[in-house]
Amino acid sequence: MNIITYMITVQQAQELILQNLRPLGETKTLALCDCAGYVLAQDVTSQFDFPYWDNSAMDGYAVIYEDVKDIDSPVSLKIVEEIAAGRAPGQVINPGEAARIFTGAMLPIGADTIVIQEETKRDSQNVLVLSSPSCVGDFVRKKGDYYKAEQSLLEAGHRLTPQDIPLLSVAQLSHVEVYRRPRVAIFSTGDELREPGSILKIGEIVDSNLYALSAYVQQCGCDSICLGIVPDDVDRLKDIISSALIDCDLVISTGGVSVGDYDYVARILTDLGSKILIDSVAIKPGKPLKVGSFNTGQKLYFGIPGNPVSAMVIAWRLLTPALKKLAGETKKWQSPIIVARSRSPLFSDGKRETYLCGQLEIVEGIAEFVLSRDSQSSANLIHLSQTNALAVLPIGCMSIEQGQNVQVLFVS
Ligand code: AMP
Ligand code: MG
């Protein structure tokens, strides 16, 4: 038996989890349109300066700044050509001349500044410039202003957002190397649990954690494999855990990890040869979390407490970094913790790191934390639904007064 039965801190738990978990590292190629949300598996470097060439940021006229600077009265310039986006300029602009130009069109040789259309008046083949541009180069997007050839654009390990996609597209990547998503098995255990839609007998409740965790795991960019409800039965639990470990990259269960007579998970993990990394964490709620490592670090098992709020607190605080590392992300594994002003008095017994559900709001530019009303019960699903942030009271901190700053874990 290699169970570590002492309670460790949340920070120690996070370190142990991350130390004992390797990124999957398996890659696949996806079309550009399909890769947002995946973790990039290649470094992306620009082959070109961008913009590719000087071009106009506005509809207007390409001019020579010296012709129109510091003018007291309108200046007339001869229009020598019209350049639409996608056309190459054909003329050189000489003093006293201008080119009609449209947004995105290439600047003609000789011109160095754009006068926007609203500051001009057209007079047949001439344009009257009514006021001076503010500087040379006004409304010109210069070649290479945004980035240069050979410059690194994105690095492997970065989770692609929709706003990264234009960068990949301009880097001429019609297909992108990404890491495959981790497959995460999830099941619930408890004799009292029934699926939604069931007719409940006395003492039974509807399983909510399976759906909460499945949704969360997907939000973290993993595929969730829902294995349903397993009764508090040692053999059934052993079977499902063994097969989930074969099919999936990480296994999560909820329920059955506390000290009750029907809490079998820790014992089964040990029977199946797991090294128990975590047996108890100084976190409230979520203390009885069990984390086991199988096949010398190849696969982790998260035995998450059954109370619905506890389950989500553990997911937000300790599962998130694991899923991100497994998926190939190389940094920012932990969800962001920020400082906010508490609009409510907050209390803890100071013995464990305490997470209190509430809402983060921005009031006149200041982040404020509002504690959910009524109880902080670990089973209160309406509070859970309203939660977008958790106040974090460290060990030893027994209260935070209204108006004081508090650390807040932002969760959605
Ligand atoms: P346990 O961790 O098995 O001791 O369960 C703690 C509490 O959470 C009990 O009240 C259970 O009924 C409840 N619970 C356990 N699993 C779930 C679940 N999947 N969905 C909703 N509640 C659950
Ligand atoms: Mg139970």
DSSP track, 140-157? EE-TTSSB-TT-EEE-TT
**Residue 2 pLDDT more than 60?**
no
Res 331: pLDDT = 83
Using 50, 70 and 90 to split pLDDT, how confident is the model at 297? low
**Residue 5 pLDDT more than 70?**
no
Query: Following DSSP, what letter does each residue of 310-375 receive, concatenated?
Result: HHHHHIIIIIHHHHHHHHT--S--SPPEEEEEESS-EE--SSSEEEEEEEEEEETTEEEEEEPSS-
Res 397: pLDDT = 97
Res 295: pLDDT = 81
Ligand 1 pocket test: pick from 194, 202, 209, 258 the residue with the most ligand atoms within 8 Å of its Cβ: 209
Given a contact cutoff of 8 angstroms between Cβ atoms, the answer to whether 99 and 89 are in contact is yes
What is each CA distance from 393 to 139, 315, 371, 396, in whole angstroms? Answer: 51, 18, 13, 8
Using 50, 70 and 90 to split pLDDT, how confident is the model at 61? very high
**Residue 296 pLDDT more than 70?**
no
**Residue 162 pLDDT more than 90?**
yes
Render pLDDT for 261-295 as a digit per residue (tens, 0 to 9): 989 999 999 999 999 999 999 999 999 999 999 98
Res 6: pLDDT = 78
- Ligand 1 pocket residues where CB is under 6 Å: 188, 190, 192-193, 205, 207-210, 254-258, 260, 263, 305-308
Residue 33's nearest CA partner among 221, 190, 173, 145 is: 173
Res 70: pLDDT = 94
Given a contact cutoff of 8 angstroms between Cβ atoms, the answer to whether 217 and 224 are in contact is yes
Closest atom of ligand 1 to 258 CA is: 4
Render pLDDT for 315-352 as a digit per residue (tens, 0 to 9): 999 999 999 999 999 988 998 899 999 999 999 999 99
Render pLDDT for 199-223 as a digit per residue (tens, 0 to 9): 999 999 999 999 999 999 999 999 9
Using 50, 70 and 90 to split pLDDT, how confident is the model at 3? very low
Using 50, 70 and 90 to split pLDDT, how confident is the model at 1? very low
